[in-house]
Amino acid sequence: MAKILIIDDEAPIREVLSKVLQAVGHVAVASGDGHDALRRIGSEPFDLVLCDMRMTPVDGLTVLKQAHAIKPDLPFLMLTAYGSVDVAKESMQAGAFNFLSKPWKMDELLLNIQRAVGHEVRPSSGASGVQTSRTEMVPDWSTEPWAEPVRRLAATSAPVLITCSDADRMRVARLIHDQGIRQAGPFCVLDCAGLPEPILLVEMVGCAKGFVRGIPDSRSGMLEKAFGGTLILDEVAWMPHKLQGDLIRIIQSGVVKRMGGAEIIPLDVRILATTAYGLDVLKHKRSLIPEFLTWFGENILQIERPATPDAG
């Protein structure tokens, strides 16, 4: 049994979720306001928070960030009617356990709750396929053509390229991480789109104290922060060619040096790269250098029919 806080500004949603959670043996506490929810989080123990993304006057992402400043280990399951890549990226980067798009399927909701709190969920008469193992596939995805490759890839530490035009690419990346041998490690996301090459390089490898104007202290790069876990290179097709080659050489060497620094820092990180482009488009536009594509080998997972935007 877990104590779960429900945050949603719509009373019918709160009522439905409360009844479902109580039916499977949990204690449900409902809040219709972000300020009230944060007060409760600060004063009461909770095992999980179900939080709507779009609320007023305090939105769900703000609640997530402020709650983690109080209780960093409190898992959040974000609920949204806007299943965009940006929403997925923002919530994952802010530390959410996962996010679900409305309307949710009850099996998926219950399984995510079970995985987040780490306890077995007793399924109601209307629920089926709820697994007690962290490494089981979400039932709603188990018949997808890419379900078996996800299981296979989760069992390795090899780099993977995921192509998909919508938010599922971030979900699949998270699924590979959560089911793999690095599930206890950090899950970090580096957005490769829209950043100039020098800034992207600093974000990737970090910088020594005083090396970058405006950054007075030394800064760890994402490769370093993801030690023991997974680094997601989101929208990797936008990464400059030189950095693609640099990244491969750094990973293969097993060490990294921050920009302007002399210290050799060991690495232990798995790379999952995502893009909205399909493999044919990537090759046609030459978005990725041949060495980079070869690095992924056969570990290229194409989901649905990727978008083919004109940028790049």
pLDDT in tens, 6-16: 999 988 889 88
Residue (of 248, 251, 254, 252) closest to 292 by Cα position:
248
Task: Classify residue 59 as left (phi > 0), alpha (psi -120 to 50) or beta.
Answer: beta
Identify the CATH assignment for 147-302 out of 3.40.50.300, 3.40.50.740, 3.30.565.10, 3.30.420.40.
3.40.50.300
Report whether 176 contacts 150 (CB < 8 A): yes
To which CATH superfamily is domain 3-119 assigned? Response regulator (3.40.50.2300)
Report whether 202 contacts 208 (CB < 8 A): no
The percentage of the chain sitting over the pLDDT mark of 70, rounded to a whole number, equals 83
Token pair in block for residue 198? 């020098």
Q: What is the pLDDT of residue 125?
A: 32
The percentage of the chain sitting over the pLDDT mark of 90, rounded to a whole number, equals 40
Per the prediction, the chain carries an average pLDDT of: 82
Distance CA 13, CA 54 (A): 13
| pLDDT score of 216 more than 80 | no
pLDDT in tens, 38-73: 999 999 999 999 999 888 889 999 999 999 999 988
pLDDT in tens, 102-111: 666 676 788 7
Q: Helix axis angle, 168-179 relative to 85-93, nearest 10°?
A: 40
Is 3-119's fold the same as 147-302's?
A: yes
pLDDT band at 83 (very low <50, low <70, confident <90, very high): low
Q: What is the pLDDT of residue 243?
A: 95
pLDDT in tens, 131-187: 223 334 444 556 667 778 888 898 888 999 999 876 678 888 988 998 888 888 889
pLDDT in tens, 235-292: 999 999 999 999 999 999 999 999 999 999 999 999 999 998 888 889 888 999 999 9
Q: Would you kindly state where each structural domain of the chain is located, as residue ranges? A: 3-119, 147-302
83: helix, strand or coil: coil
- Using the Cα atoms of residue 228, residue 134, residue 104 and residue 13 in order, give the sign of their dihedral: negative
